[in-house]
Copies of this chain bind each other. A is one copy, B any other.
Amino acid sequence: MKGKLFYLGLIVMFVLSAVGHFAHWDMTVQFILSAIAVIFVAGFLGKATESVAHYAGDRVGGFLNATFGNAAELIIAFFLIKEGLFETVKASITGSIIGNLLLVLGLSLFSGGLKFKEQSFNARLGEHNSTLMIMAVIALFVPAVFVGAEHFTVKKDQTLSLIVAGILIVSYLLWLVFSMITHKDMLADKEMKPDHEEEPLWSKGKSVLFLVVATVMVAFVSEWLVHTLDTFTHKFGLSELFVGAFVVAIVGNAAEHSAAVLLALKNKIGGAVEIAIGSSLQIALFVAPVLIFVSAFMGNTMDIVFTPIELTALGVSVFIASSVSRDGRTNWYEGFLLLMVYLILGVAFFLV
């Protein structure tokens, strides 16, 4: 029944936001409709991915999660790049990463910690996650410092951005090899396989079909949402940065949010950490670099240089998330601190 309501909501919201878009309804109404629709289609995409993963096995399933999990963000960003809104893309990448590291992880540890005194997961995974987060910060920080300090030409800036993007993509693909093939057992953890306890929702064929359908729906709804942002931003006097980094990011990660908190409440904190940190690593090491290449193929290369305040937000998020999760032991207070850092950043971005 809960399922039926979900699909009803999915279809209603999708149709409503489509009608709103094509009938040129009031922009605020359009924004609200498509923002809600994004939550439903992201959830649908999540279910479809999980179901496919059930049939394809852990390794391929993990890879599919890695490929489809952040589809909403990738597709939203694609349309923003087409419109040349590079700054909004970077703001939303920033928002997505810090949203996962602080809000999703924070809510999970906090709610899980209220129920269980201490929750733990594989400490080796905690250490590798920390190192990868540091890698991501380095890859974003180095170009910003060099381009800023040495007044690089646009050409040099783009060359550096493409090379760094290539390095990140290779690093991410090898991380999949390392964590899912060569050292899978070392990073394993009972709590990390929550996907396969329940019966799959659909047959193999249906799962693949729904995965395709969901991806297409995400693509449409995301484009409608992006179209409303400009007006919306002006209407409420919000900075583009705040909308990109907080509003879009919270909406785009809705599926991760609920899944991670539910796992934490089942004492499967390893799974929650995997979703929260894993998703942010995927955006930093895979989605963002892919967008650089996409922009290059479209003839106007987006560079990898983030603004000082974006780098600050990313850097502090990585620091505190790494300090909290490195040891593989978590509690409610650590989750609370992550939420407080998110709040500080949110207020600071709002005031810009």
A interface, CB within 8 angstroms of B: 117-118, 124, 127-128, 130-132, 134-135, 138-139, 141-143, 145-146, 149-150, 152, 156, 159-160, 163-164, 167, 170-171, 174-175, 178, 182-183, 186, 307-309, 312-313, 316, 319-320, 322-324, 327, 329, 331-334, 336-337, 340-341, 343-345, 347-348, 351-352
Q: Is the CB of A308 within 8 A of B145?
A: yes
In Å, the complex CA distance between A143 and B332 comes to 26
Q: Is the CB of B333 within 8 A of A164?
A: no
- Closest B residue to A179 by beta carbon equals B333
Give the chain B neighbours of A340 by CB distance below 8 A. Answer: 135, 167, 170-171
Instruction: Give the residue among A186, A307, A344 with the most B Cβ atoms within 10 A.
Output: A344
Known: A145-B312, A159-B351, A164-B347. A135 touches B337 (CB 8 A): yes
Q: Which 10 A-B pairs have the closest CB atoms?
A: A178-B333, A131-B323, A145-B312, A138-B316, A146-B348, A156-B351, A149-B308, A150-B352, A163-B347, A167-B340
In Å, the complex CA distance between A271 and B329 comes to 23
Q: Is the CB of B352 within 8 A of A146?
A: yes
Q: Is the CB of A333 within 8 A of B174?
A: yes
Known: A141-B316, A170-B340, A171-B336. A309 touches B160 (CB 8 A): no
Give the chain B neighbours of A319 by CB distance below 8 A. Answer: 134, 138
Known: A309-B145, A312-B145. A351 touches B152 (CB 8 A): yes
Q: Is the CB of A309 within 8 A of B146?
A: yes
- Closest B residue to A334 by beta carbon equals B131
Give the chain B neighbours of A323 by CB distance below 8 A. Answer: 127, 130-131, 134, 322
Q: How far is the CB of A71 from chain B (nearest CB, A)?
A: 26
Q: How far is the CB of A324 from chain B (nearest CB, A)?
A: 6
Q: How far is the CB of A286 from chain B (nearest CB, A)?
A: 14
In Å, the complex CA distance between A320 and B141 comes to 13
Known: A167-B340, A171-B336. A127 touches B348 (CB 8 A): no
Q: Is the CB of B145 within 8 A of A341?
A: no
Give the chain B neighbours of A329 by CB distance below 8 A. Answer: 124, 127
Partner of A135, one of B124, B312, B341: B341
Additional pairs, 11, CB under 8 Å, beyond known A146-B351, A182-B333, A183-B331: A117-B186, A141-B316, A142-B316, A146-B309, A149-B309, A160-B348, A164-B344, A167-B344, A174-B336, A178-B331, A182-B332
